[in-house]
Amino acid sequence: MDSRPSLLMGVIGTNTEVGKTWVTAQLLATLKLRGSRVAARKPVQSYGPDEIDTDAARLAGASGEEVTDICPAHRWYPIALAPPMAANALGRGPVWISEIVDEICWPADVDIGFVETVGGVRSPVASDGDSLELLRRLDVDQMLLVADAKLGTINAVRLTLAAVTPTPTIVYLNRFNPDDPLHELNRRWLIEQDKLTVITDVHSLAVAIEDAFRNSGERTPKPRCCAR
């Protein structure tokens, strides 16, 4: 029987190196401890040739899945470039987004599934599509936007949300320091001026996602994805 998580979350970032994988891994571990059935997918990954602890490996360690279920082995590109560029540099031909979408499979009976993208929301994941196009093809229920708390984050968050609208989005300010006046001003501005849901700690984020999961039963069911 085909399967799709009851709540499918797309994980996006304002840029590369904002902590998407760290946040997703923390969420997977926290939600598991709280009793949710979780899974994660990193449909394609590129990384430095000497890097051992890849994004897929970290997600697998948190979710308890096999690393090749997180990201198929033929979608690993050991060169620090955007995935389609890395594939070309390695002589492995073009990467097509339809192929990536078709390769995403979920185990049965998953409550909450996370699809982690690459770089920023418009970063290419394939020769013919970016992170945003991938999540649109998957028809995710909600997005989690990981952003820095530092100077410039308001602009970065606004630009990203303009691209993903109207998909419901939670903003997570990573590396937030409540004693840093700038971090707190940014948080308050995004909440009070932009009317966004902004969270700064993993426990509260897990609770918010659990609430979204409970509410997901009230929505019209979406088509199922393939299952192994």
Alpha carbon distances (Å) from 172 to 10, 175, 224: 13, 9, 28
SS3 label, residue 103: helix
Contact predicate 160/119, CB 8 Å: no
What single letter denotes the amino acid at residue 178? P
Structure tokens given for 50: 């000497």
Helix (H) or strand (E) holding 142: strand 142-148
Cα–Cα–Cα angle for 55, 131, 212, rounded to 5 degrees: 80
Question: What is the rounded distance in angstroms from the CA atom of residue 200 to the CA atom of residue 188?
Answer: 11
| Active-site residue list | 42
